[in-house]
Amino acid sequence: MSAPLRVESATDAAGGEGAAMMRLIEELYPICRSITGDGLRRSLGIVARDLPLALREVPSGTQAFDWTIPPEWNARGAFIATLDGRRLVDFADSNLHLVQYSLPMDRIVARDELLAHLHTIPEHPAWIPYRTSYYKEDWGFCVSERQARTLTDAAYRVVIDTTLAPGHLTYGELEIKGASEDEMLFSCHSCHPSLANDNLSGIAVAAMLARRLMSAPRRLTYRFLFIPGTIGSLAWLAANEARVPRVKHGLVLSCVGDPAGFTYKQSRRGTAEIDRIVAHVLRHGGTAHRVLPFIPYGYDERQYCSPGFDMPVGCFMRSPNGGYPEYHSSADDLSLVRRECLEESLENLWQIIGAVEGNETYKNLSPKGEPQLGKRGLYRPMGGQQAQDFDQMSLLWVLNLADGDHSLLDMAERAGLPFATMRAAADALAAAGLIAAGPVESRKG
């Protein structure tokens, strides 16, 4: 998969991929998404404008392992007003104001009762928190600490214009078929309302990766899931159990637009090929990064890595969940996401895909002693000079480790060289007839 074509379409004509990703985020930002409902449905429809995304609708009440698809929730409006009708807190100003899945109501509420249903972030008095109550019937408002302090009246009128009724859970699925039935999965939660980095950034980068892949030669089949968190991945898993063993690599994408370094959270296995590939690409990528072991908290990797599936799925982030002050608040807004950070995330993921595609195993066809590279134009002619040419070293490494037991990633790790360099060396040696790719079945991982 060397040098795939870059997509040129109407969407990114103005400013390229980075600008296209930013525009998508800006368009999606104002919409009130949840784990069900029209906001989610409309958002996926926008993503589907540029991609052949299939929108799946799962009826409320459908069983997904230990869970049940909840009723569909839709919010038309909500406010807290003084008894003389002045609106102090209004869903129309920010969809974060309403605790998701709040039940409908319209009544006068005493101050104490109201305060018991108010959520603030005292340490950031200007920010509105993000809260949900999907699986417990409740209501509530999220306001800034400053707003909360002004609520000194004895009672307020509270209006919540929502519906909670049988309907559907919606998710988007895109399959990009490759030569093999083996799959790589990209999954991003798409259920958050006006939060930019978490996770409109993941949606935008995933959509752009999919566009690149559609026009690139590819060995694997790629699957993209745009799903509500937890219940969405459970719904997909429940409907696709037979497909799980085909998924050889996977990444959950989240929070990939902020300027922090990269955070890779390993799969539960910890030594899956994807774990090694991501660590390798980040190590040679030049951006600050860290690799964290799996923990059973976070995003949908929790479901993919549950013991009944134990899929090779890690989580690729910049700032991790809970790891930046603006997390789950109104401060996770458009100003937090930068075009160049989205682009850098995209490029690293593209390198990762390149390694997933190209991680072959080779046999040296001239394994006794070194083959004479000079007569094949692969060696510097003048002996006696000191080695300073990494291309030379990459040729020697590939020849030395092409014993059918080492994947190209194994070689790159042992050589301390970037995968792409080893890939180029292997291509040159294969072209010279000195090595041959082994059968895919014998690959490690």
Least Å distance between CB 381 and its own copies? 4
322 binds its own copies (CB under 8 A): yes
Choices 171-179, 181-189, 278-286, 361-369; region in contact with its own copies by CB under 8 A: 361-369
Q: Which of 122, 307, 439, 441 binds its own copies (CB under 8 A)?
A: 307
Choices 23-31, 52-60, 202-210, 303-311; region in contact with its own copies by CB under 8 A: 303-311
Distance in angstroms (rounded) separating the CA atoms of residues 200 and 198: 6
364 binds its own copies (CB under 8 A): yes
The string of DSSP codes covering 102-127 is BPPEEEEEEHHHHHHTEE--TTSTTP
Q: Which of 242, 385, 439, 441 binds its own copies (CB under 8 A)?
A: 385
243 binds its own copies (CB under 8 A): no
Tell me the C-alpha to C-alpha distance, in Å, between residue 111 and each of 83, 87, 154, 161. Answer: 12, 15, 5, 20
- The size of the interface with its own copies (CB under 8 A), counted in residues, is 65
Least Å distance between CB 106 and its own copies? 23
Residue closer to its own copies by CB (options 26, 413) is 413
Tell me the C-alpha to C-alpha distance, in Å, between residue 228 and each of 63, 69, 78, 132. Answer: 16, 11, 23, 13
Least Å distance between CB 278 and its own copies? 20
Structure tokens at 184: 């790589």
Site for its own copies in 59-98 (CB under 8 A): 64-67
Q: Which of 77, 403, 431, 433 binds its own copies (CB under 8 A)?
A: 403
Q: Which of 46, 134, 175, 243 binds its own copies (CB under 8 A)?
A: 134
Residue 213 phi, psi (nearest 5)? -65, -35
Least Å distance between CB 269 and its own copies? 12
Residue closer to its own copies by CB (options 200, 234) is 234
Q: Which of 393, 420, 424, 432 binds its own copies (CB under 8 A)?
A: 393
234 binds its own copies (CB under 8 A): yes
Structure tokens at 329: 């608040």
Distance in angstroms (rounded) separating the CA atoms of residues 75 and 105: 12
For 84, residues 6+ apart whose C-beta sits below 8 A from its C-beta are none
Structure tokens at 330: 């109104």
Distance in angstroms (rounded) separating the CA atoms of residues 342 and 21: 7
For 124, residues 6+ apart whose C-beta sits below 8 A from its C-beta are 145, 325, 329, 331
Query: Do 24 and 207 meet the contact criterion of CB atoms below 8 Å apart?
Result: yes
Query: Do 112 and 158 meet the contact criterion of CB atoms below 8 Å apart?
Result: no
Cis-peptide into 199, omega within 30 deg: yes
115 binds its own copies (CB under 8 A): no
Chain residues in the site for its own copies (CB under 8 A): 64-67, 100, 119, 129-136, 138, 230, 233-234, 237-238, 241, 268, 293, 295-297, 302-303, 305-310, 322, 327-328, 364, 366-372, 374-375, 381-387, 392-393, 396-397, 399-403, 414-415
